[in-house]
Amino acid sequence: MIAAFFNWFTVIMMVCGLLAVWRCKRAQWFFLFAVGVVGIWAFIFHVFFSELASSSIGWAPSPFEFEVGVANLGMGVAGIMALWFGLEFAIAVAVINTCFNWGAAYGHVHQMIVAHNFAVNNAGPIFWTDILIPIVLWILIQRWRKAGA
């Protein structure tokens, strides 16, 4: 049960973000949940539980786990800050998140094809949220821009 929660955490946060946007009519709430909370969670997972993180992705433990975790920390903090710093800041956060997540999604596909790695955190929910979260960010930014114009 706990393992399933962790495997689906990014999906849960994405849905929480969408519900918060629907309820509060502010795109920043999606940034808070889908970028901020997810980034902090990924930081904790990769840095403090690196062996578990590596094995759930289908990798051997590596010192790069720390670097990925710290990159997630930066994204998470920026996602939380988007709640207060306006559209231009949110666009910068979306650029960073898109590059990171779509790069990760490419890596997941590569691992699926080359290494036949279908581990839950390589080919499961995280793969799909790596693709979908940036798409939703850019849709919300477009709506935010139109609302402000």
First to last CA, the chain: 46
pLDDT band of residue 5 (cuts 50, 70, 90) is: confident
Q: Where in the chain are the domains? A: 2-148
Q: pLDDT tens, 86-141? A: 999 999 999 999 999 999 999 999 999 999 999 888 899 999 999 999 999 999 99
Q: pLDDT tens, 19-58? A: 999 999 999 999 999 999 999 999 999 999 988 888 888 8
Q: Using CB atoms within 10 A of its CB, is residue 134 exposed (0-12), middle (13-18) or buried (19+)? A: buried
For residues 33 and 17, is the Cβ–Cβ distance under 8 A? Answer: yes
Distance CA 81, CA 31 (A): 9
For residues 35 and 85, is the Cβ–Cβ distance under 8 A? Answer: no
